[in-house]
A and B are shown apart, each in its own frame.
Chain A
Amino acid sequence: MNSRRVWAILRFVLTTLFLYFVWVLFTSDLGLFSLLFGLAASVMTAALTYHIFLPEHEANLRFFTPHFWALIRFLFLMVFSLYQSSFQVVKAVISGNTNPRIVHFRTRLRSDLARTVLANAITFTPGTMTLDLNDDHLTVHWLLCSTTHTKAAGEAIKTKLEHALGRTWL
């Protein structure tokens, strides 16, 4: 009971801090009224929604607090792979030979946030697009398919991203 209470208070404080950070970022106004009003609004919104924003079963701080440098490296990796994959799609547009398939595989990342970011990042890898994410089961449409074997397809698509994400979150 006690540890649950502590975890609930911690989640409430984290939600408030996040909302307040976003408020200051978007208003970009450092007047006293704006700061106080934003704090009050953040506390009220966090009291109503903290159990949705951070579910209780995600009981590890590393689940949603990223390593800063790993996050920066991951952003640069995303931008690089965005250009690379667009180039592959341009080559497919010119030559016209594609091999579209739908493949299914599982991920071994554990936090919801990391899984969501993985699903978004798979859209940026060459010729793939995430259709569905259900717990740890991903459905991916692959334009330039080379194999339909589940394990081989999963290894080919996600290995690099999963390593980078495993260093950022858990």
Chain B
Amino acid sequence: MIIREILALIAFLVGTFFGIFGMVGLFRFRDPYSRLHAGSLCGTTAVFSYLVALLLLAPSLASGARVFIILVFFLISAPTGSSIVGKFIWESEDATRQRSAMKREDKSL
């Protein structure tokens, strides 16, 4: 029992470390891509570590099995969500660049 709690404490500390630096990156970087890298990747790692800690602390088999299923599906859904956001940033930056290029052409004419 005590081993489980120590392992959960280690996972909690690792998750806190990555989460705090993810927050720092979210406020320190200037462009949306770098913010997406810092926030999404470090946030995923922090939440993953927290879920591992909660899996170790689960009171019964039923809740433990559910937390395990959530853990596996989180590995699939987290990169899918960040990929959707990344594609949106890519397309919107493309649109703004084209619009500014068109404006420049208008001025030169």
B45 touches A123 (CB 8 A): no
Segment at the interface with B among A1-9, A51-59, A61-69, A128-136:
A128-136
B42 interface contact, C-beta 8 A: yes
A100 partner residues in chain B, CB cutoff 8 A:
31, 33-34
A82 touches B48 (CB 8 A): yes
B83 touches A129 (CB 8 A): yes
B28 partner residues in chain A, CB cutoff 8 A:
93, 96
Bound state CA distance, A90 and B44, in angstroms? 13
A131 touches B83 (CB 8 A): yes
Contacts of B20-56 to chain A: CB distance below 8 A: 21, 24-25, 28-29, 31, 33-34, 36-38, 40-42, 44-45, 48
Residue of A nearest to B48 (CB): A82
A96 to chain B, nearest CB (A): 7
B62 partner residues in chain A, CB cutoff 8 A:
28
B12 interface contact, C-beta 8 A: no
B17 partner residues in chain A, CB cutoff 8 A:
90
Q: How many residues of B contact A (CB 8 A)?
A: 32
B56 to chain A, nearest CB (A): 15
Query: Which secondary structure characterizes the binding site on chain B?
Result: helix
A89 touches B90 (CB 8 A): no
A127 touches B37 (CB 8 A): yes
B36 to chain A, nearest CB (A): 7
Contacts of A61-117 to chain B: CB distance below 8 A: 75, 78-79, 82-83, 85-86, 89-90, 92-94, 96, 98, 100, 102
B85 to chain A, nearest CB (A): 9
A124 touches B37 (CB 8 A): no
Going nearest first, the 7 A-B pairs with the smallest beta carbon separation are: A123-B79, A93-B25, A86-B45, A120-B79, A90-B21, A131-B86, A131-B90
Mind listing 27 A-B residue pairs with CB under 8 Å? A28-B65, A82-B44, A82-B45, A82-B48, A86-B18, A89-B38, A89-B41, A89-B42, A90-B25, A90-B42, A93-B25, A100-B34, A120-B79, A120-B80, A123-B41, A124-B79, A129-B36, A129-B37, A129-B41, A130-B79, A130-B83, A132-B90, A139-B90, A141-B33, A141-B86, A143-B33, A143-B34
